Structure 1
Amino acid sequence: MQQRLLPLFLLALSLIRPVLAQKPNENYKYHIHAATSAIKIDGVMDEEAWQSAEVASNFYMIQPMDTSYSRARTDVRMAYDKQNLYILVVNYKPIPGTLIVESLKRDFNFGKNDNFLLFMDTFNDRTNGFSFGANAVGAQWDGQQHDGGAVDLSWENRWFTVVKNDDEKWIWEAAIPFKSIRYKPGIMEWGVNFSRLDLSIAEKSAWAPVPRQLASASLAYTGVLVWDQPPPSPGPNISIIPYVATRFNRDFRRDNAMGRSLDVGGDVKIGITPSMNLDLTVNPDFSQVDVDVQQTNLDRFELFFPERRQFFLENADLFANFGYSTIRPFFSRRIGLGVPILFGSRLSGKLDKNWRLGLLDVQTAAQDDQPSNNYAVVALQRQVLARSNFRFMAVNKEATNFNSEIHQNHSRYNRNIGGEFNLASANDLWAGKIMFLKSFSPGVKGDDFAHAANLNFNKANFFWQWQHEYVGSNYNAEVGYVPNAARDGYYKINPMIGYLFFIKSPKIISHGPRFINTTYWDKQRQLSDNEMVLVYNVNFRNRGTASVWTATNYVRLLSPFDPTNFGKERLATGTEHRWRSAGFDVVSGPQNLFTYAVSGRFGGYYANGTRTNFNTELGYRFQPYVAIALRSTYNDIRMPAPWNRTEFWLVGPRVDVTFRNNLFLTTFLQYNNQADNVNLNTRLQWRYKPASDLFVVYTDNYLPENFMVKTRALVLKFTYWWNV
């Protein structure tokens, strides 16, 4: 018996050791001291405080290979006073006179810009933090980090930055108010890392070394920011963010009358502690939020569109990252869907080093046949081991004025409770999750739960994943996102394995295969779906990529389905469909002014039909002021009668004009013949003060066949960020 247990013990020990291991880069220390003089944010290193500050240099290359020092010299200095954390970075150009940027657009595309980024683990927990940075012409980047390093760029706050550029170098200088970040009072060490991307030599580097297969944002590999004394308390931290919005709209399909409205509302942010924040909102308005990029839907299930509304974004991972991408008990876009939000509150942040708490309560108005609903969410997270955590969530949706005769298509309540364990090893090579969820709905009992688990291993040359899911036939998450629940309950497995060969070549850095299998069974354990994909990837030194793939598919329909999603005949339940397909993907390197990404798919489809698909994204930049992009999707579906031939076009040209790094004009046109619509959205944003904006948003919707206007709207919105 002991002989049989010994191998199991050794296996468990081998898995636990990397989870409990010490921080990989704890010997990389930067000592920060109080500024010895006043600092002016002007991109000029002429203050005495910068002359006496410690310098972090000798960056390590991450990509294309992580085995040497960086060829691009970078010098970093930091300091602080009672109000702000300061950083000044001198980015020397390895090729004098070069500059590769997309535009002055805020929260720019990381891979298309020369940039410098700061990552701060302000609780030293290797899980949550903040990121700030800029590209080489001064476009700002700020985001909140979660789950070990993922960066949510939708998060915004007040801070100050300037970039100065010449042929030999570009200098980034910034002041980050302590009021704008969250941190534990009294702590003397934060995690910190500095990341540099220089596209002229296609090199990504970092001060504290990071393995090439991981993002430079990985908080597992931060060094240590050592304070000479505890960071100062931010003091009273209350921000009031009112808005005034006026709206003009006309529906040409109805009475053609002009509608007018004036809305007043806003948000309040209250720092309960330096690590806990209370957000309040009254009559929120989201008219300035970027329009969703439309998608051609040839799937049997609902498409996903990310949350962009500011109120829901701080510490959003506490709420949004519970579960999996297709099993979410809470999805904030369900709130205010087609009805106005009256008011809401969110309490979120750290209770101490190990505990995080999130509380949300939102009230919506009644409209037409929809009742007024209250949404309440509790999220609790406990960190364990080095970087892992347990999470608990409870979600309650309750109609506050429910009438069974009026609200026949809506439920009186829906509730979800769940728990999960998230594994993240100290060296970021192992990750995984195990999760259980249960729902409560009126008159429903039994088989109302969901379970899923996965385990991932990721080294530079070898990576694999195992994932399985079970969703009960009565599991219901009305405030969540579970598109596959339409299968009326299912079992699923999703294994993946891949390998990369690294070679010495002037153009190619690595290449290798990847195999992915996705299989579904119904509640009777009968096969309903199977897809097997074999991909071969090539990664180029200029950061371009190429791949070819082949796939086999099997589908047994569990409900009637129109394979065009265009209102045509539906295939019958129980019919079986098999096909093969192949395709390619090519993405150019970002160095040239003209960039492209092209993909294609060729092969079979439902009912012995065929489907040909092309996706293209073409870009051209007149740096740094104008970036033009043209995205298009073409589908050619050929099937027997009564479907015959169906062609879908989705075309979306976009022009971003950045007059300065605080004045932006975006024009986005989307033609979608599946939705029978042409949408034009033009947005002018003037950031006249940090986090304070004036928006002018113009929107048209047209009929594609004759460009007759269906609806038209003009919005003027003024916001002001006022620190009390």
Structure 2
Amino acid sequence: MLFICMQALNGWAFQIEKSQPDSLQQTFNKDYVLRVKKAQNPIQIDGVVDEPDWIKAEKATNFYRVLPVDTGMAESQSEVVMTYDDKAFYLAFTFFDTIPGKRIAESFRRDFVFGNNDNFLVFFDTFLDQTNGFSFGASASGAKWDGIMHDGSAVNLNWDCKWESETLHSDDRWVTEMRIPFRSIRFKSGTDRWYVNFSRLDLKGNEKSAWAPVPRQFPTASLAYTGVLEWEDPLPKSKTMFSVIPYVFGSVAKDYEAGTKADYQTDFGFDAKIGVSTSMNLDLTYNPDFAQAEVDEQVTNLDRFELFFPEKRQFFLENSDLFAGYGYDVVTPFFSRRIGLDAPVLFGARLSGKLDNNWRLGLMDMQTEKTSLLPARNFAVASIQRKLFARSSAGMIFVNKENINEPGDVQDYNRVVGFDYNLASSDNTWTGKLFYHQSFDEEEHEHGQYAQGASLQYQTRNVKVRMDQTSVGADYNAEVGFVRRTGYNFLGPSLSYTWVPNKKVIAHGPFLESENFFNTDYEKIDYVQTLGYNVEFTNRAKAIVGVKDFFVQLQHDFDPTRTSEHFLPAGSEHNFTQFWAEFLSDNRKNFKWSALYSKGSFYNGDIDFMEGMIGYRIQPYVNFAMNVSYNEIRLPAPFEKANFWLLGPKMDLTFSDKVFLSTFVQYNEQIENMNINMRFQWRYAPVSDFFIVYTDNYFTGDWTSRNRALVMKLSYWFN
């Protein structure tokens, strides 16, 4: 279907792009305009801003303070200049220091942790919709940052593209130059205007600033508060983008627990990207391998429901909100991690992007192989979204899972159809969502096969008020989605107030959250009531204290430790209360730590919970962190006392901006497993990598090996 539609969509998108004029929408910072002149001479990316085109370029200056308070101008000022040619656009940033001393740069790791580095970020809204865009940046070490933006401010950093940068330091400033090819991003051909904002985090001065002012309660990535970027000439129509990323793969694995022989494998595959238009992209994959994806961070699970882990595989990430943005995180019709984790993906295709200023389209089709346990399956998703008003949108999604050549009477298909409305006011003060989803399969159902929800949030500098509502039928079944629980109605009001005194304490205030679950007859079955107080200090340390009150009416038999042969019976009611205190130290220091302690009752017993982190860095080469979690659960007979340690030492070595080595050990007493994951990466060419990944799992106690694997993968990006 994707291949048949591609040519028609290409022509349709091109005609729409030609016919749609640019229009300056209502944006708060429309008076902040940066005019970009076309370059007359080559620009050398060397961190030295001395070319004639830089000298005559218009400067973005006079940055406004956003944090710790959003009043006045930044103490540490910055300058940004831009230019462009027919193939790429260029940026040069100069960051002046007012405080002497070493700049904070955690590592050379790409897509660095924002709050742990002096850094500069730029946010481009290339379609003027104040919702979707691209972000690029650099830390003081020269580490790169790139991500695709959605939902008005969220940045997905798992997206990568080809571009180059160089950073140089002097005593009173540091400078970064960038070259970003037009073909690396999506935009409308012939446009002469984008929206843009520039953001700087200066940790030495504990100051975040932006060129176009942003209220402190919103991230500087908020596309509602961008300024205007005016190109001297309309941007040229981009040539058709085509890139292919082939890979070769070799591995050896041995399952000691099953007693099988060592399994040796070699394979190959590829990803390809085709620019159907400057705003629409077709992604293809054959025999993809995701062995290099970072391992999930484990948690001790004392809950009754499945845990949510984020998607990290790059194929699923560009325009991911078109597929994964429906519903809530706890009840969404499409969750890409359902594809390819229990059976290898044979091939897949994904068409996504803009049809014009108002319409976005997403089509995906993935095919998994047959295994000894599962039949071959096809996963198809179709999503269309229409922009409404200033920044709101409405969308529809169709998800289909089809089993192929399935023997017997096993269910053949599962489908979900859904509608979502996303509310976002022009100033981001009001946000919300309304959705309704319906599932279909071959079974006959007596109860509801629906999921419905609504939320509304009002946020100002001091006040944040939110109400969430959800209703999920007992027979709602989204097999390709994430549905934490079914057969309930939910109401969740929350309220917080923040004072901003701008003294030793820069912000503090109380918060109240109420989570209330009812059965389908609106009889209360669960609630969690939370009252807490939050304090932020001028040195970036934070403290939180609070109390939680729980009520649970068990709908099924449940073992609170998830390790015992005993259980609490369905229908039993439990009311328990827990107090907690948390502190996070100043993360600007090379040594940092955090600690959380919680104590109280737990179902029909008691619990003590401790969680902490100790970290040390030798910037920008070495980062060490030790994550610790401990649960002591004391339940009456016939249960036995349970003590669960979860230890996670992690060492991250960044030898340069191209060579990385990470080692992550996770000792988990609840599942009686210790996992070792070592990941070496050499980025020998732009977005082209050589990986070596070693994984080992052991039983805790006798420390016998369960399984281990060694994987080598080489990929190259042909453009």
TM over 0.5: same fold? yes
Instruction: Please state whether the residue corresponding to 1:50 is helix, strand or coil.
Output: helix
Whole-angstrom distance in 1 between the partners of 2:30 and 2:646: 50
Match of 1:491 among 480, 489, 492: 489
Cα contact 1:158–1:690 (8 A) shared by 2? yes
Instruction: Give the residue type in structure 2 aligned to 1:498.
Output: S
Partner of 2:556: 559
- Is 1:666–2:662 an aligned residue pair? yes
How far 1:21 moved relative to its partner?
8.9
Give the SS at the match of 2:321: helix
Kindly state the Cα deviation for residue 33 of structure 1 after the two structures are TM-superposed.
1.2
Partner of 1:306: 310
2:69–2:500 Cα contact (<8 Å) kept: no
2: CA distance, partners of 1:321 / 1:444: 29
1:99: how far off? 0.9
> Is 1:136 matched up with 2:137?
no
Which of residues 232, 253, 257 in structure 2 aligns to 1:249? 253
- 1:523 is matched with which residue: 520, 524, 532? 520
1-structure distance, mates of 2:367, 2:258: 30
Contact 2:68–2:502 (8 Å) recurs in 1: no
Q: 2:688 aligns with which of 682, 685, 692?
A: 692
Report the CA distance between 1:518 and its aligned residue: 0.3
In structure 2, the residue matched to 1:651 is 647
> Is 1:455 matched up with 2:456?
yes
What is the CA-CA distance between 1:552 and the residue it aligns to? 0.9
The one-letter code matched in structure 2 to 1:666 is: S
Matches within 5 A, 1:526-675: 526-607=523-604, 609-675=605-671
Q: Does the CA-based 8 Å contact 1:97-1:168 persist in structure 2?
A: no
Deviates more, 1:510-519 or 1:89-98: 89-98
Contact 1:666 1:684 in 2 (8 A): yes
Q: Is the 8 A contact 1:444 1:474 kept in 2?
A: no
Alignment of 1:7-46 (within 5 A): 22-46=26-50
Deviations 1:109-154 (A, max 9, x none): 1001000001000001101000000100111100000011110001
Tell me what 1:478 maps to. Answer: 479
The equivalences for 1:367-406 within 5 A come to 367-404=371-408
- Measured in 2, the distance between the counterparts of 1:219 and 1:573 equals 48
CA offset digits 1:474-505 (Å, max 9, x no partner):
111000001112xxx11100100110122242
Query: Quick check: 1:318–1:379 contact (8 Å CA) kept in 2?
Result: yes
Partners of 2:259 and 2:501 lie apart in 1 by 67
- Give yes or no for the alignment of 1:427 onto 2:427: yes
Does the CA contact (< 8 Å) of 1:553 and 1:579 recur in 2? yes
What do the CA deviations read for 1:383-408 (whole angstroms, capped 9, x no partner)? 01000000100000010111125xx5
Q: Mapping of 1:40-189 within 5 angstroms?
A: 40-189=44-193
Task: Give CA deviations for 1:231-257 in whole Å, capped at 9, x if unaligned.
Answer: 122212000000001001112233352
- 3-state SS of the aligned residue for 1:213? coil
Q: Deviations over 1:441-473 (max 9, x none)?
A: 112345111110000011111111001110011
Structure 2, gaps ≥5 residues long: 1-23
Give the TM-score taking structure 1 as reference length. 0.95
Aligned ranges 1:294-333 → 2 under 5 Å = 294-333=298-337
| Whole-angstrom distance in 1 between the partners of 2:324 and 2:171 | 44
Letter matched to residue 90 of structure 2: Y
* Alpha-carbon distance in 1 for matches of 2:172, 2:691: 37
- Percent of paired sites with the same residue: 47
User: How far is 1:261 from its partner?
Assistant: 0.5
Q: Which 4+ residue blocks in structure 1 deviate beyond 4 angstroms? A: none
AA at the equivalent of 1:423: L
Aligned length: 695
Aligned residue type for 1:645: K
Task: Tell me the SS of whatever aligns to 2:86.
Answer: coil
Letter of the 1:688 partner, please give it: Y
Whether 1:436 aligns to 2:436 is yes
Supply the distance in 1 between the matched residues of 2:335 and 2:650 (Cα, whole angstroms): 28
Q: What is the alpha-carbon distance in structure 2 between the residues aligned to residue 21 and residue 560 of structure 1?
A: 55
**Distance (Å, rounded) in 2 between the aligned partners of 1:82 and 1:543:** 44
Amino acid at match of 1:452: G
- Structure 1: how far apart are the matches of 2:463 and 2:323? 32
TM superposition shift of 1:364: 0.5
- CA distance in 1 between counterparts of 2:444 and 2:107 reads 54
CA distance in 1, matches of 2:191, 2:270: 34
In 2, distance between residues paired with 1:504 and 1:667? 40
Deviation, 1:43, is 0.8
Note the C-alpha offset of 1:45.
1.2
The aligned residue for residue 16 of structure 1 is: none
Amino acid at match of 2:651: V
Contact 1:97 1:166 in 2 (8 A): no
Deviation at 1:83, TM superposition (A): 1.0
Q: Contact 1:137/1:165 (CA < 8 Å) preserved in 2?
A: no
Distance in 1 (alpha carbons) for counterparts of 2:131 and 2:124: 10
Assess if the C-alpha contact under 8 Å between 1:66 and 1:212 holds in 2: yes
SS in structure 2 opposite 1:299? coil
1:416 maps to: 416
CA distance in 2, matches of 1:544, 1:672: 29
User: What is the CA–CA distance in structure 1 between the aligned matches of 2:386 and 2:540, rounded to whole Å?
Assistant: 38
Alpha carbons 1:98, 1:167 under 8 Å: kept: no
Report the equivalent of 1:710: 706
> For residues 653 and 502 of structure 2, what CA distance do their matches in structure 1 show?
41
Gaps (5+ residues) in structure 1?
1-19
One-letter code aligned to 1:581: Q
Cα shift at 1:565: 0.8
Distance 1:404 1:548, change over 3 A: same
CA distance in 1, matches of 2:558, 2:638: 14
Residue of structure 2 equivalent to 1:681: 677
Partner in structure 1 of residue 361 of structure 2: 357
* Counterpart secondary structure, 1:182: coil
User: Which of 189, 212, 215 is the matching residue for 1:211?
Assistant: 215
User: How far apart are 1:346 and its partner, in Å?
Assistant: 0.1
Separation in 1, partners of 2:568, 2:582: 31
Determine whether 1:266 maps to 2:263.
no
SS in 2 for 1:49: helix
Query: Structure 1 residues 648 and 207 mapped into 2: Cα distance closer, same or farther (>3 Å)?
Result: same
Task: Note the alpha carbon deviations across 1:635-688, whole angstroms, 9 max, x for none.
Answer: 000010121210111110101100001111111000001111110011110111
1:555 shift after superposition: 0.4
SS at match of 1:721: coil
Q: How far does residue 40 in structure 1 lie from its aligned partner after superposition?
A: 1.1
Measured against aligned partners, the alpha-carbon deviations of 1:150-175 in whole angstroms (never above 9, x if no partner) come to 10001111111111122211111111
CA contact (8 A) 2:69 2:502 kept: no
TM-score normalised by structure 2 residue count = 0.95
